[in-house]
Amino acid sequence: MKDQGSTGAPPGDERPTECIEIDEVEPGIVVRLDPAVLVDDDRVCNTLDPPVPRPGPFVCVAVEDEMTTWAGITATAVRRDRLTLRSEWRSGGTKRWRLAAQFLADGASIWRGPKEAFVAASWQEIKTRSRSRAYLSDEGLDAVRTEIELQRHRRHRSCED
């Protein structure tokens, strides 16, 4: 597992971090994940190269037994076709999650693997004062799943069983 001594935040802006618990992994939870941990895990598949380069927020879009599917989230609207995650779809987590603009990073880029792999990759998850995890509502999840399906043709590989 990675060194948990640093969050990657600028000096003076360090925040306490913690891994999520395996029973917290459910559709709609939004967690800061380290893609390097996922890339190094042979049980995890990503559908688009190159994989996400740095830690950031991901939303769990599906859980089937012990297998999970996740998609990256960004606060940058570089591409006009990015799905906006409407504020009414977002709850819990940090003030930035709730109030700043948020987008699905790329519907073609999804990650699939066992719950344990994503728990291990969550070592940089930021503790919130309220201890409330960030979540995307069922309506938001439906929009994300629709966008993922619309972008299926752009994937470099399938992560289906």
**How many C-beta neighbours within 10 Å does residue 6 have?**
11
Q: What pLDDT score does 159 carry?
A: 86
- pLDDT, one tens digit per residue, over 2-22 is 333 333 433 444 555 688 889
pLDDT of 28 over the 50 cut:
yes
Q: What is the dihedral of CA 69, 116, 52, 56, to 10 degrees?
A: 100
- Sorted by where each starts, the structural domains of the chain and their CATH numbers stand as 22-154 (2.30.30)
User: Given pLDDT bands bounded at 50, 70 and 90, which one contains residue 140?
Assistant: very high
pTM value surpassing 0.75: yes
pLDDT of 47 over the 60 cut:
yes
- The pairing of beta strand 103-104 with beta strand 67-74: antiparallel
pLDDT of 1 over the 50 cut:
no
- pLDDT, one tens digit per residue, over 67-79 is 999 999 999 877 7
Q: Which two tokens stand for residue 149?
A: 């399906």
- pLDDT, one tens digit per residue, over 89-129 is 999 998 899 999 999 999 999 999 999 999 999 988 876 55
